[in-house]
Amino acid sequence: MNPSSQELNIHRSPSLDELSRAAEQERGRSRRRTLVAVSVAIFLALAAMTAWSLAIWFQRESALQAANRAVQEARMAEVQRAEAEKQRAEAEKERERASELAQLREKAIGLRAVSPDQTAFVSSAGFLIDAKSNDPVAHLTTEAISVVQFSPDGSRIVLGTGHQILVFDRSGAKLKEFAAAGETKMISFAPDSKEIAVVSLDGSVALMDLDGHVLSIFKAREPIRLAAFSADKTILITALQSGELRAWDVATGALLSDFAGLDGSPPTVLGVGTDSRHGLAVYRNGRAMVFDFKTGETSTFLAFTL
């Protein structure tokens, strides 16, 4: 056999050092593979945790937003319900007010007295009425009205109901209520709006202030039907049932003069001139008489024709 061929077939065994190095290298590669595997596992775990945390956060935010929307919607619904309820209540009040006004308007019929500036009147049913809108301002009384009168300055309303007299301001607020000397038939204001002459069915005339104090009483042998003050408030003239006219001194109550009148019946209009000396009486047939308190002279004329 060829020697060179024998050398080629001889296999050399590795040394211990080589085996040791090879084992160390294998262990290094194993550690690296393990480290890579652990790192990948940690990364995947962190990624999974992050994804889970984000999912939880998104769910929580979505839940919070949904809850906030629900709260806002609930609040808005509550506001809308409250507004709807308010509108229903206001509509109901308007309906009630319209019904009330309609009922009041039905009662605000019949003119009993008009204010001096013609902006208000008192109806037969006892309502103070705004003349422009025809709306009731106040209900003065539920009692039957025998007489009502505005003061010359328009600040007071005096109303008679049987034996009672009621005093109101222009807004309809009641200021006083007091008893009359008798059942009231007519009321006449003094020019300064501070006193009234109250004509009663018993035929007397009581001079009273607006607090109900009786200042003096004028009586005649027969019922008095009308009374009127002079402009200076010193003279009170009265018309009797028979048509007789009398002039009285307000301060003393003394009878100054009397006049027979016309046609044996009381006048429908009675007044005193601005000179506080002459009186005027107008009768149903259109005739009128002027009389002088001091001289007793009279003159007649036809005021109107029927």
Q: Can you say whether the dihedral through the CA atoms of 27, 28, 32, 35 is positive or negative?
A: positive
Q: Is it the case that residue 268 has pLDDT exceeding 80?
A: yes
Q: Is it the case that residue 173 has pLDDT exceeding 80?
A: yes
User: Domain map of the chain by residue range?
Assistant: 18-107, 113-302
Q: Work out the end-to-end distance of the chain between its first and last CA atoms, rounded to an integer number of angstroms.
A: 183
User: 208, 250 in Cβ contact below 8 A?
Assistant: no
Rounded Cα–Cα distance for residues 111 and 226 (Å):
20
Angle at 65 between CA 60 and CA 66, to 5 degrees: 95
Rounded Cα–Cα distance for residues 124 and 133 (Å):
18
Element (H, E) at 258: strand 255-259
Structure tokens at 193: 């709006």
Rounded Cα–Cα distance for residues 281 and 267 (Å):
6
Confidence of residue 57 (pLDDT cuts 50, 70, 90): confident
Kindly state the percentage of the chain with pLDDT values over 90: 25
Rounded Cα–Cα distance for residues 142 and 161 (Å):
10
Output DSSP code: residue 270: E
**Predicted TM-score (pTM) of this structure:** 0.61
Residue 283 has what pLDDT? 87
For the stretch 88-144, pLDDT in tens is 888 888 878 777 666 655 555 667 899 999 999 998 889 999 988 888 899 999 898
Residue 209 has what pLDDT? 94
Q: Calculate the alpha carbon distances from 105 to 102, 118, 123, 146 in Å.
A: 5, 19, 10, 21
CATH of 113-302, one of 3.10.20.90, 3.40.50.920, 2.130.10.10, 3.90.1200.10: 2.130.10.10
Q: Is it the case that residue 23 has pLDDT exceeding 70?
A: yes
Angle at 118 between CA 117 and CA 124, to 5 degrees: 135
